[in-house]
Amino acid sequence: MSGAAETSRRLAIIGCRGRMGKLLAARWSAAGHDVGGLDLPLTDEGFSSALSGADAVFLCIPAGALSEVLPRLAPHLDGRQVLADITSVKMRPLAQMEAAYAGPVVGTHPLFGPKPQPSDLRVCVTPGRNAEEPHIALVEGLFRDMGCASFRSTAQAHDRAAASIQGLNFISSLAYFSTLAEQEELLPVLAPSFRRRLEASRKMLTEDAPLFEWLFEANPLSQESVRQYRSFLNVAAGGDINVLVQRARWWWKEER
C-alpha cells in the first residue's frame, strides 16, 4: 500500500463479492476511499443506492456479463461519473461501455489476480474517446493509492499484446499437450524439462482452462497471433531451426 489517498473518493464496485471486487474494495477502503458495492441480485434500487454520489463506478464482472448489466446500469449514471472495467480484454468491453454510456469511460486491466505479490501490481489503462485527462488521472490515482503502477495503452494495442502473451501461451501449450496425449509409451522417457513444462501448464490447462478459452475467443486479435505462430512452426518444419534459435535469443540479449 502507498498510504492514505490525497483526496478521498466515493467509489462504487459492481461485483463487489467477486474475488477481484473484494480485493479492490478492501485496498481502496484501506487507502481512505468511501467504497460502496453491489452484487447479485442487481436491482434498480441497488444501482441507485450504490451509484449515488460516486465519482467512479468499476465493473468487476466477467466481460461476458457486460451486455446484460450495462443496459440496467447506464440509466443510473449521471454523465459525470467515470465508468471503468477490469476485464482482461479491452476492445469489445470498451465499445460496449461507450455504446451504453455517453459519459467518460476508462478501461483498465489489472495485471494481477486476487492474491497478488507486490511485484505484480501493474495496471494497463485504456482511455475511451470521451475520457479527458482529469478522468484518466482519477483512475490512475486510485490504483496508485492501492500501491499499483499504471501505464496507458490503446485498447487495440492491449488486445494485441494479450493475444500474444496470454492467448498464444494458452493455445501453444494446449496444442503441445494435445499432440502428446494418449501416448502411454512416452511416459517412461519423460525428461525433466518436459516435467517442468507439464507442471507449469497444469493450472492453466485444468483449473483455468474455461477462463483462457473464453479470453481467446473474446479477443478479436487471437487468430492473428496464432497465424503468426504457425508461420514460425512452418520455418521449423522446413528445417531452419537455427533461424528460430537466433530470433528466440532476443529474450536474453542483456545476458550476452
Q: Is 33 found in the same domain as 55?
A: yes
For residues 65-92, average pLDDT: 95
Q: Is 147 found in the same domain as 167?
A: no
More confident residue, 2 or 6: 6
pLDDT for the residue numbered 119 = 86
At residue 253 the predicted structure's pLDDT band, cuts being 50, 70 and 90, is: confident
Contact 76, 114 (CB under 8 A): no
Radius of gyration of the chain (CA): 21
Report CA-CA distances (Å) from 82 to 17, 121, 153. Answer: 21, 22, 18
Q: Is 50 left (phi over 0), alpha (psi -120 to 50) or beta?
A: alpha
Whole-angstrom distance, CA of residue 186 vs CA of residue 204:
22
pLDDT at 3 > cutoff 80: no
Structural domains counted in the chain: 2
Answer whether residue 38 is part of any domain: yes
For residue 190, the enclosing domain spans: 157-233
CATH code assigned at 142? 3.40.50.720
pLDDT in tens, 5-54: 668 899 999 999 999 999 999 999 999 999 999 998 889 999 998 999 99
pLDDT at 81 > cutoff 60: yes
pLDDT at 1 > cutoff 60: no
Please tell me the pTM assigned to this model: 0.86
| Torsion angle of C-alpha atoms 145, 147, 152, 157, degrees rounded to 10 | -140
Answer whether residue 67 is part of any domain: yes
Residue among 110, 139, 144 nearest 23 (CA): 110
Q: Is 200 found in the same domain as 149?
A: no
Q: Is 121 found in the same domain as 46?
A: yes
Q: Is 204 found in the same domain as 168?
A: yes
> What's CA 155's distance to the chain center, in Å?
11
pLDDT in tens, 127-158: 999 999 999 999 999 999 999 999 999 999 99
Whole-angstrom distance, CA of residue 60 vs CA of residue 69:
11
Q: What is the DSSP string of 206-226?
A: TTSHHHHHHHHHH-TTHHHHH
pLDDT for the residue numbered 5 = 65
pLDDT at 255 > cutoff 80: no
Where helices occur in 88-240 by DSSP H, the ranges are 91-100, 133-145, 155-162, 168-180, 192-205, 209-218, 222-237
Q: Is 164 found in the same domain as 51?
A: no
End-to-end CA gap in the chain: 37
Q: Is 96 found in the same domain as 65?
A: yes
Q: Is 135 found in the same domain as 169?
A: no
Contact 221, 163 (CB under 8 A): yes
Answer whether residue 112 is part of any domain: yes
